[in-house]
Amino acid sequence: MALYAHHLPAWKKDEVADIKKNAKQFSLIGLVDIYGIPAQQVQQIRRNLRGKAVIKVTRNTLIKHAFEEIGGDIKKLTKYVNGHSAIIFTNDNPFKLFKQLEKTKTKMAAKAGEKAPEDIVIEKGPTSFKPGPIVGELQQAGIPAAIEGGKVKIRETKTVVKKGGVISAKLAAVLVKLDIRPMDVGLALQVAYHDGDIFEPSVLAVDET
């Protein structure tokens, strides 16, 4: 599929050329999801991976364009380009890259409307809160709370959101106050191409043997 090759502005042609150059220099091409990652964290990840990998952030249309121009099996990667994709190039094998990217993830506070990556469980026990509006806030967020001994106490262990469930605004606000950071924020590998093979995360999330 030819994508308006002769009509691209110079800067877009340069972007495509850069992707093609890196594709020749490195043995592995991967796509990573950078949605929701602060620019500062992306820069820090780049620094941490310096000498091991190159991250290229550009428009999805240009990524697809470059893959189409490269041709061969690499064209298969175009179907994985969606959302906020970026390209990662490395000479490491896919399993090692997956592990490296998992290590870039940090815990962040949840925002209203986000989906829980795992069950969010509030443990039974005392909190540091003094009696006040926080009791009602906890209860409205589905967390059983009461005042005992001059402190706010969680009366029972409660799963407030199941994995994949949407986090409400009230719950997000309470989780911040409880200093619970359920969100894993970092580069998520969407797919990797190496030695003619396509590797998806479900295959890579195992111990390398």
Considering the entire predicted model, what is its pTM? 0.72
Give the pLDDT band of residue 1 (cuts 50, 70, 90). Answer: very low
Q: What confidence tens digit (pLDDT) does each residue in 139-161 have?
A: 999 999 999 988 999 999 999 99
Are 58 and 139 within one domain?
Answer: no
Are 79 and 135 within one domain?
Answer: no
Residue 209 counted as domain residue: no
Average pLDDT of span 193-209: 84
**Residue 18 is part of which domain span?**
5-105+186-204
Are 9 and 93 within one domain?
Answer: yes
For residue 150, give the CATH number of its domain: 3.90.105.20
Residue 110 counted as domain residue: no
Are 23 and 58 within one domain?
Answer: yes
Are 132 and 178 within one domain?
Answer: yes
Are 22 and 69 within one domain?
Answer: yes
For residue 73, give the CATH number of its domain: 3.30.70.1730
Q: What confidence tens digit (pLDDT) does each residue in 29-79 have?
A: 999 998 878 888 888 888 888 889 999 999 999 999 999 999 999 999 999
Number of domains in the chain: 2
DSSP string, the chain: ---SGGG--HHHHHHHHHHHHHHHH-SEEEEEE-TT--HHHHHHHHHHTTTTEEEE---HHHHHHHHHHH-GGGGGGGGG--SSEEEEEESS-HHHHHHHHHHT-EEE---TTPBPSS-EEEPSEE-SPPSSTHHHHHHHTT--EEEETTEEEE-S-EEEE-TTPBPPHHHHHHHHHTT---EEES-EEEEEEETTEEE-HHHHSS---
Are 162 and 193 within one domain?
Answer: no
Q: Which residues contact 188 (CB under 8 A, 6 or more apart)?
A: 32, 33, 101, 201
